[in-house]
Structures are given as C-alpha cells and as structure tokens.
Amino acid sequence: MAFKKVDPKQSFPKMEEEILKFWEKNKIFEKSVEKNSPDKSFIFYEGPPSANGTPGLHHVLARAFKDVIPRYKTMKGYRVERKAGWDTHGLPVEIQAEKELGLKNKQEIENIIPGNPRESIIEFNKKCKESVWKYKDEWEKLTERMAYWVDMKNPYITYENRYIESVWWVVAQIFKTKNKKGESLIYKGHKVVPYCYRCGTTLSSHEVAQGYQKVKDNSIFVKFKAKPNPEKGIDDNTYFLVWTTTPWTLPGNVALAIGNNIDYCIIEILSGRMVGIDANKLKEYEVPEIHPERIIISKKFAEKLKESRNFNILKEFSGKDLLGLEYEPLYDTNNTDKKSYYVVEGDFVTTQEGTGIVHIAPAFGVDDSEIGKKYDLPTLVTVDIKGRMSADVPGKGILVKNKNDKGEYAVDHLIIEDLQKKNILLKLEKYEHDYPFCWRCDTPLIYYAKLSWFIRMSELSGELVKNNENINWIPEHIKEGRFGEWLKDVKDWAISRERYWGTPLPIWVCEKCGETKAVESIEEIREQLGNPNKLFLVRHGEAENNVKNILNSDLSKNHYHLTENGEKQIKDLTKILEDKKIDLIFSSPLLRARETAEIIANNLKLQIIEDDRLSEFGQGEFDGKTQEEFDAVFPTWPEEIMDKREEFGVETENEARERFSNFLKEINEKYKNKNIIIVSHGDPLQFLYSIIQERDRVEAYRNDWYPTKGSAKIIYSKYFDLHKPFIDDVKLKCACGGEMQRVPEVLDVWFDSGSMPLAQFHYPNEATKEDKEKIESGKFFPADYISEAIDQTRGWFYTLHAIATLLNKSGKVPTGYAYRNVICLGHILDVKGKKMSKSKGNVIDPMEVMDEYGADMLRWMLFTINQPGLPKCFDIRKMREVMNRVFRMLWNSYYFFVMYANIDKFKPTTNNQQPTTNLLDKWIVSELNVLIKNVDEKLSAYDIYSATGLIEKFIDNLSNWYIRRSRKRFWKSENDEDKNQAYRTLHYVLVELSKLMAPFTPFIAEEIYRNLTSPQPSPYQGEGEIKTPSPLQGEGRDEVVSVHLAEFPVTDEKLIDEILNKQMQNVRDVINTGLEIRASEKIKVRQPLAFLETNCKDLELFKDIIKEELNVKKINFVERVNREDKNLVIRDLYSEPNKMTAVIDITKQVAINTEITPELKLEGQAREVIRHIQEMRKEAGYEVDNRIKVCYTGLLGVFDKFGQMIAKETLADSLNKGKLADADLEKEFKINGEKIKILIKR
C-alpha cells in the first residue's frame, strides 16, 4: 500500500476545497446521518438566521459551536438530523423592504398603489418575500465552506403555509389553556407597552431587552405648585419638587406619587442659589432671586442638598401625611371629569434617585398606568400613534424623540424652555442611563398605552424558573443569573404586531357577540377557501435505477423495481397517511411509482388511478444513461435545458407544464374537498408543487423543496397565501349567527422562531401517530443541544423556553423546557475589544479568512480563543500562530510518517496497535488513550474549550517529543522489528487522532484519515465516487472511506500506563532542568558534556533518552548530588505541568559537569558540521533517502576523529579532503571561529 504523497507546504484552503467536492460527490453528510439508527437519536435545533443580511464572523462562531457537538454525537453512534431553517418574517425584513422601496412609514406602505391599501400591502409583502433571499447564496456558501453540516436542501421556512399552520396550532393550544380564574392565557388588553412609532408597532419585553443603549439625556428638577393647606403647613409659595428624565411626558401628568414609608420635609432655602443649565445655550445659569420658596422633598434628598445649600427644615412628616394634597397642573390638558392633580401612594417610589416624588402620566409608563387604574385617574394621551406631541403645548406636531440641530430631543427642549419661562424649572443636568431603542430600526422607544394581545407569562414565572432547573447552561452562571433573573421578573408577552409581513395572528372575533376563536389549522377555514382538495405529493421509494444512477422515463424500459429499502420507506410513509382520511390515489404508470402506490393503496383500501400525465420527465436520448452523462450536456440546468432539450428529444418545459396543468385542472373541476395522494417522481412533483404555488419556470427547479425518495408533501390544490391581506378576507360564521373577522395584527417574529421545534416538521399536520408519540414521550422534544450568542437569552432561548412551558401546561409536550443543553456564546469583537461594524471599518470577512488560512484554522481559533461565554477579541494576526502551533505541527507529523512509510513500503494491518517493547511507543499510545478518554468526557459535558486544549498539548507531545525522539528509528536502513513497531505506532496514533479531531477540524481530519486508511488513488485526484476496501476495516468492505463515517475513538484502558506517563513527565522535567543549566552557562546543546548527576533514581530506564537530549556522555544516578565538585552546576528539578504554573521540587536535583575537554570540543564541532551538511541537503532539494558525497577543507582533526559519525548522520558515502568536481552546492562556515568549506554532490 502506497500512501498519497504529502506536500510539506500544503495550502490548507486548497485542500479543503477538494475535500468539499469529495463530500458533495459522495454525499458524506447524508451518509453520516443515515448510518445510525433513529432509535438512538440526538436532537439538535438550528436557530433560523435571516438571509436578508450578509453572514459575518459571529455567524461562523455560532455555527462552529453548533457543528462540533452533532459531529461528535454522530461518531458516537447517535442519529443527529440537522434541519436548516430560515427566519423570513418580521421587522428586520420589513425595514429592508422599506429601504428598497424608498418608504419611510406605514402610511407610505399602504399607499404604494395610491388609494388602494389592500393592493399596496400585497406589493409590499411581495417585496418582503423577495428580500429574504437576497443573501441566500452567501449564507449557503459560508455554511458549506466552513463545513457546518446541516440539511440546507430541506429547510424549514417560516413564511411557508405549512410552517404558519403549525404556529397557528401552537397559538390555539395556548389560547385554549386557562389560568386558575378560568381565563385564557391569551388576552387582549389596554396596557402601556414599549412602542416604536417609526415602525408603528408594539415590542415584547425580550425584544426591548436586546436594544438598550447608553445615552446622555436631559433630566430636570421641576416645581409643581401645591395648593395651600394650612393644616399641613403649606402656603401659596410651597412646591413639590419632582425629578424626571422624560420632560415630554409632563403634559400627560395627572398625579404625583410618594412612598407611604418615606420621610418627607418642607425646606426653606436661605442662601446659595440653585444652579441650573440654560435650556437654550446649555450653559449654567443662576435661578433669579425671588422671595424664599418652600419645597417639599424627601429627607434623604434634603441630606444631599446640605452639601451645596443652606436651608431650614420647617416641618417633617411621613409620606402618608401628604396623601390627597392637591397641586396646580403644569398644563391644561385634562378634558375629563375624573379627579386628578393630587398626591397618591406608589409602592415603586424610592429615594435612590430623585427627590422621592414621582410624576404620574398613565399613558406613558407601566407603573403610572397601574397607579392610574388603582386611583381611577384619567389617561391623557398627549402623543399620537405616530409619536408626535398632540397636546396644545410647546412642541405640538413634533416627534417626541426626534432630535433638533443641536442634538437634543426637540420636544424636550421646548418643554424645558417653557418651564424655565414659567420659573418652575429648578435645575437641568445631563443624566447618563440605559435607554431602550428599537432592536431593528434604532429609533428610541416610548412607553405608550395601547390595545395589544398578550400571553400571561407573569402568571407562569414560577413554572418558567422551575423548568429552567432542568437545563444545563454553559456558562453555568447564566442559569441563575442573566436568564434566571429574567424569568423571575418576566412580563406578559405582547405577541401582536401592527405590521404586515408576519404570521397572521389566528384569532377571529365575532362583530356581533364578541365571541373569540383561535383557528389552529387550514382545515378549519377550508370551506372559506373554496373547499380545495388536499394533495399529498408522494415520491416513489428508492428504486433500482436510483441505486444504479440510471435515468428512466421510457415505458418500454419500465423494469426498475423498488429496492428493499424503497419498500421500507413506503411502508413507513403509509403510517403517516393512514389517519389522513385519504379519498383517492393517482399514480404514474412507471413500475417504481406503481409499486409505491400499491403498497399505500393496499393499506388504505383504495383503488389506484393511473395517469400518464404523472410520469417522469421524458429523457429522450438520455433514457437509460446516467445522471452524470445528462449533467455533462446541461451543466447549468435548468437554464440551458430550456434551449437545448428538443435537439436531444428531451421533454420541454412547456410540454411538462401543459400536462401537469391539465392534470391539476381536471382534478380540481372533478373533485372538491377531497384528500388525494399523487404518486410520481422527483422533478414532476417539484414542478407540480411550483405550478400550484404559481411560480415561474426557474423557480420550478429552484424552489426550496425537492422531494426525497419515499416522502410526502401536503399542499392544497388551490394556492392560498395565508399572509395579509388575503387572510383578512376569510370570514367565519359565529354560533350567534354573526360574522367573525380576523384581528388585523401579525405575530411577534420571535414567536415564529420559538415554535420551530414543532413547526419545522409541520406538526401536527404531517406527523404520524408514531411521531406524535415520540414528541409526547420526549424522543423528539426537547432538544439535546442548542447554541447561539448570549443576547439570545432575551430572544430565541427565552421564546423556546416560554412556548415549551406554555405547551407543557396545555399537555401537548412532555416537558416545560425546549432544550437540555445550551452553549451561550460571547460576542465577537475586534482586536481592541470594540463591536464590529461596517461604519467603523473593523468588520472581518470570514470568507476572506478561510480563503487565506482555511476553515479548520478559523474554527479552531474560535474554539480556543477563550471560554465560550466570554467576549472574543478577534486578532487576525493570531491565525498564523494557530497555524504554527497546531496545524503545521500536526501536518509535519503526518508528512513525516507518509514520507518514510512510502520509502520503506510500510503496510498497515487491521490491528496496527500490536504489542511493542519500546518505551516511547508505549508512552505515546498510553497518552493517546488518556486523551481519548478525557476528550470524550469533555465533549460529553459540552466542554469544547478544555477538549481542544488537551488535543493541542497532545499534538505538541507527539511532534516535539515522540517523533523527535523516534526519528532515528525511522531513519535507519534496516527494516527491523523496532522500525516496524515505530511505523505501526505512529500510524495508529495519527488515525485515532484524526478521528478525535474530526468534530473540531473536519477537513484536516478527513485528509489524514483517508490517506492513511485508503489505498491509492487519492479521492482528490479523480472523478466519481471512490469505493475501496480499507485495510483497517477488513478486507472486501466496499464502502466510501471517510473519517465522518467512522466511530469516535474508544479508550483502551489496558493501553494506559499512568506510571509510565508520570515517569516520562519526570524525564522531561529532568531534561528541561538540564537545558536550563546549559542556557545559563551559554553552552549549546550540540556541545557534548561529560556527565549528568541526579537523585531521580526511578528514571534509570530512560537514561539513554536523557543522555541524547542533553548530549551528555554519562548519567550518574546518586542518592545525593555532589556539591563539592566545582565543575557541577546544580539546579532543583523544574517542572512545568501546564502553561499556567511552574513547580520547583527541591527534593529532586539535577547537576551537569560543564567542563569541556579538548575531545568534547572536537565532538561538538563535529555535530555543528553535521547540522550544516543537513541544511545544505535541504537547500539542494535532496530527498531524505538520497546518498551523497562530501568534500571539505578545514577542521581536519574533526573529520579524522569523527568522520564515521558525520558520514552516517548525513548519508554520505564518502568524506574526502579537498575539492569536489561538479558539486551541487558549496558553502563556507565558521565553527568556533575556525573556517571550514563543505561541498556536496548527490
């Protein structure tokens, strides 16, 4: 067996590109999934990204961590199905569409077609649907390039009807679930909610949590004039002092809140004018002299004032004494009869910030709203739905959060200016705080009283917290910290959005009696859609022509039966269909389709209707040929096929469309409200599906669904878009006789992604009884593993958890948590710790990084940069460090083995790890098995960072100790047993190491594994599927060899020798100590020394290793080191167990005799000569086994004494003094100050 020659300067990106072709050609990902039984499943959920933005380095980080665990579990024998997904709804998509259409707000959206809101929304949503795929190619390229294995061919797409229908089902289950009061968990309420007036929609609390920014705003101390109350000591010159950071809310003020248990006082300022800031010039000004004012504040705030003011405290009282006191309104905006402008109690009032008195505007604050309800206060909505001041006050008609040319909020500025003129502004100052912004459009949010639909999450806080106890969080502190604290204080989930492109909220309300209904399936509105037929598009099971890769459409060649596997596929499919109330079954006349239909029909007791229009595409001249032969003629199919098919007799697109359209038209005219199975072939079914969805010819081939063998796709025969405005046309009949209209809102986009565990499978509509049992029993739910960035604790992590808790409460899923293990990732930052952004110019393109260094290297760096939960400052310059520290070291070890194995014609056997007597062999094999054990334990605990650290250390040991110490065993000319033991050991180690590294670095692991376990030719040097018997997997095995189809290494405890491992570490400690002595004495290692003395007597077996490493002639193992010998340099044993610590063992000592005798000096010079000749061999481009001739001048004594050693070490057949005719290379050197000239020739 010859191994493929290894290039020592291999370009890793180029190698990876070739491996990608091999994986694609041989469907290695698919085979890795299919090789394991579904009975042993590991469940992984892919959080859906949005393809309307380009993927970045942070996506590579997340996908690397997502990828490594499923790969590991696959190699451990689990079936890990990984379904990709696309997040296609919501504000992010709408905002992108608005930009592309040049729109600014909702009013412009509804006027795209002037005067026609309905058609305008249709056009807008059409643009949204197009925009979600804008960067789909970039995402797919990145996903493939970085070797993130996920099923991109059959993704779940959140805008598809099948996904929407499953989301509806989830909503309906929650709607039907009641709380202890018998109320639905979904309710409509008038509440103060976070509101983006630019987007015109409410946001949920978890969306708000993602958009906080640190800002500096104007805060003011404003005086509210109290109405006189002699009994309380309040005259007509007494004011309540209030601090606020939202001056724009003051026109909506209706009350002042105090704390019942807070102590208050009336003060009279004597001197030291209060200093304010001019609202116009933003400069400090002094409040004008006026007659002494009396101010009501908390005693705690009064204590703060003592530092800058002289005042008398006139009276003290508790908060309760202030209740009911009245004051004069700042603005005349109350046009109601409700009592207002008096002091009320608020349990949220504190003295931590401000004066201990809070102004209440029920329309603009959650606490304010609750106070308003408690005291029946009026709600003064002084800002309109577009975010403009609507009250007749300064700033009317201006957006409350729009800034003026001075960078201030314009309305705030005008209000402050007005307060100053009224002489009730006491102080203005800048206040830095965190303020919520819209997470997508970056507009400051306002809290605004609105009608919205909510889920009563606050009532489930205890259950959310309890369910969280079952989740393994990495990092661990997230569990009780960031996530746990969020759950304890969870707010009701505002699930409705006043937007257009989203899953319609499936709630219908009767206009007559107010009855509310949640629709859970299309079946419930099927009558309103015109009673279309429900079609089950079934592709035949695997057939003989599929296995042989032969095209067949000719009925005269119709002899391809279903395979045994194909029959099983259809029998499994029948389980899905048996409870679907099937009325009819149609079939293509081709044998493989007919046999498929017979299995289904026999089970469902149906008669098959055969129809030629369902047959395979006519293949013309290609019938009976392979797919490869077809692709060679039509490489950019389908575009080119449209122009060329006729000349080859291939059915044209128009011909196919006509027969499929005629078939559909006929069954739609003949049948209504029937459930119909259609058995056909891959391309026809895809085309049929696209025709129903009214797609064009390219989409017919390139849409997001292509049927797999033995699968079914449910679609209604009449296409109906469930999005707005079409769904708004659907009216339902109420029991009272009235008409039910759907509410206009769409769902929070986070509800879409939170529903994906079930919606990705179109659950429950396309689920078998068996699937439902698996969901309900916990085999498909919850996930075993998910991973995303830390901000998803307020996003996807939360919505998954919330919906799981809700569905568990309704009895639909077995657990109240959606995932068992989660790795929470820190954000990627630039080298300076700053957030990456295009505006800052610090964004790093991951594709460029992979083009230069390779995906493996980038993955490894992201795994090893620090613990996963920490922020990651990405320094591109460190990629080269990673390459040298890990990849070049590993590659050089692999190169070394292959080069010498090919020279010696080494042949691996089925069991390369045969007994060996060599201590180094035993040690590296022992260390490898310890590594396997530890990495297995770390990965099973989701500790990726520690696992990679262990592998790095082993690679260093392998290269810099085992191989370096074993080189002479490979170099020697005779193929004795010792040399064979070295080959077998290194081969075994490299193969096992490649399997160990496969989850982390899938490319280099594949290259090493395939070359070391497959005979030539290399899979990367030819076309087609490479199937070869592997010598390590038993003779005669006809299979594609890939490390990703191999099992994860298993520790052989018998091969672990902990004593040997410890002894070898001690040997290296002795050597490191000896090297430190040499360094301190400035003596090169090539210079031999007389002897070493040590009291480490248990290392006598390793004396030859120590002698060679430290280049000493002898080792004396003694009880105590001789301190009397002046030529001995003594050190306490230095140990470096890891890179973080260094240990000195004063009980163990090493001493070296540093006296250099004339003979030792000559030998040292001889070793320098050897080094120079070896470097010349490399420079001349010689192969390692090339014999050479050497001539020299100078250092004659060295050659006389050590010529034989020099010749042996340099593979020189002759060493001669003088010149060498036609020398390949000639060089002159100085060794210890003496000149020498060396000439070499091959």
Q: Which is catalytic among the residues 792, 981, 1087, 1165?
A: 792
The dihedrals phi and psi of 1219, each to the nearest 5 degrees, come to -95, 160
Query: Would you state the structure tokens that stand for residue 844, as one six-digit string?
Result: 């790093």
Q: Are strands 712-716 and 675-680 parallel, antiparallel or unpaired?
A: unpaired
724 touches 746 (CB < 8 A): yes
Q: Are strands 294-298 and 284-286 parallel, antiparallel or unpaired?
A: unpaired
Pick the catalytic residue: 87, 368, 752, 830? Answer: 87
Q: Which of 493, 796, 860, 923 is catalytic?
A: 796
- Name 848's Cβ contacts closer than 8 Å, sequence gap at least 6: none
Residues 6+ away with beta carbon under 8 Å from 621 = 648, 649, 650
Task: Please spell the DSSP secondary structure of 107-118, one letter per residue.
Answer: HHHTTSSTT-HH
Alpha-helix residue ranges (DSSP H) falling in 249-365:
299-305
Token look-up 């098959």 returns: 608
947, two tokens: 């696992």
Strands (DSSP E) along 158-274, which ranges?
186-196, 201-202, 212-225, 238-244, 255-258, 263-271
Cis check: omega of the bond before 725, within 30 degrees of 0: yes
Partner residues linked to 1239 by β-bridges: 1191, 1226
Which residue in 257, 758, 184 sits closest to 495, CA to CA?
184
Rounded to an integer, what distance in angstroms lies between the CA atom of residue 942 and that of residue 214?
34
CB 678 within 8 A of CB 586: yes
Q: What is the DSSP secondary structure assignment for residue 694, as one 8-state letter?
A: T
Q: Which of 399, 384, 453, 567 is nearest to 191 (CA)?
A: 453
Phi-psi map region of 509: left, alpha, beta (phi>0 left; psi -120 to 50 alpha): beta
Report how far residue 1062's alpha carbon sits from residue 1137's, in angstroms, rounded to the nearest whole number: 11
Say how far apart CA 1204 and CA 1212 lie, in whole Å. Answer: 9
The tokens describing 1096, both together, are 């480490």
Structural element, H or E, at residue 277:
strand 275-277
Bin 354: left if φ > 0, else alpha if -120 < ψ < 50, else beta: left
Catalytic residue among 14, 548, 835, 1178: 835
Q: Dihedral (C-alpha) 1034, 1037, 1042, 1046: value to the nearest 10 degrees?
A: -50
Q: Kindly provide the b/e burial profile for residues 1051-1069, where b requires at least 16 CB atoms within 10 angstroms of the residue's own CB.
A: beeebbbeebeebbbbbbb
What letter would DSSP give residue 961? I
Give the active site residue among 13, 48, 394, 1031: 48
Residue with tokens 């056997």: 909
The catalytic residue among 473, 750, 860, 923 is: 750
At 1149, give phi and psi (nearest 5°): -135, 155
Q: Is 87 a catalytic residue?
A: yes
Q: Are strands 534-539 and 342-345 parallel, antiparallel or unpaired?
A: unpaired
Which DSSP category does 827 fall into?
A: P
Instruction: For residue 750, indicate whether it is catalytic.
Output: yes
Separation CA 855–CA 865 (nearest Å): 15
838 given a catalytic annotation: yes
Distance of CA 222 to the CA centre of its chain: 49
Rounded Cα–Cα distance for residues 98 and 112 (Å): 11
Q: Which helix (H) or strand (E) holds 656?
A: helix 653-670
Q: What is the secondary structure of 970-1005 as a DSSP string?
A: HHSSS--HHHHHHHHHHHHHHHHHHHHHTTT-HHHH
Strands (E), 618-765: 675-680, 712-716, 731-733, 739-742, 746-747
Tell me whether residue 792 is one of the annotated catalytic residues: yes
Query: Catalytic site residues?
Result: 48, 87, 750, 792, 796, 835, 838
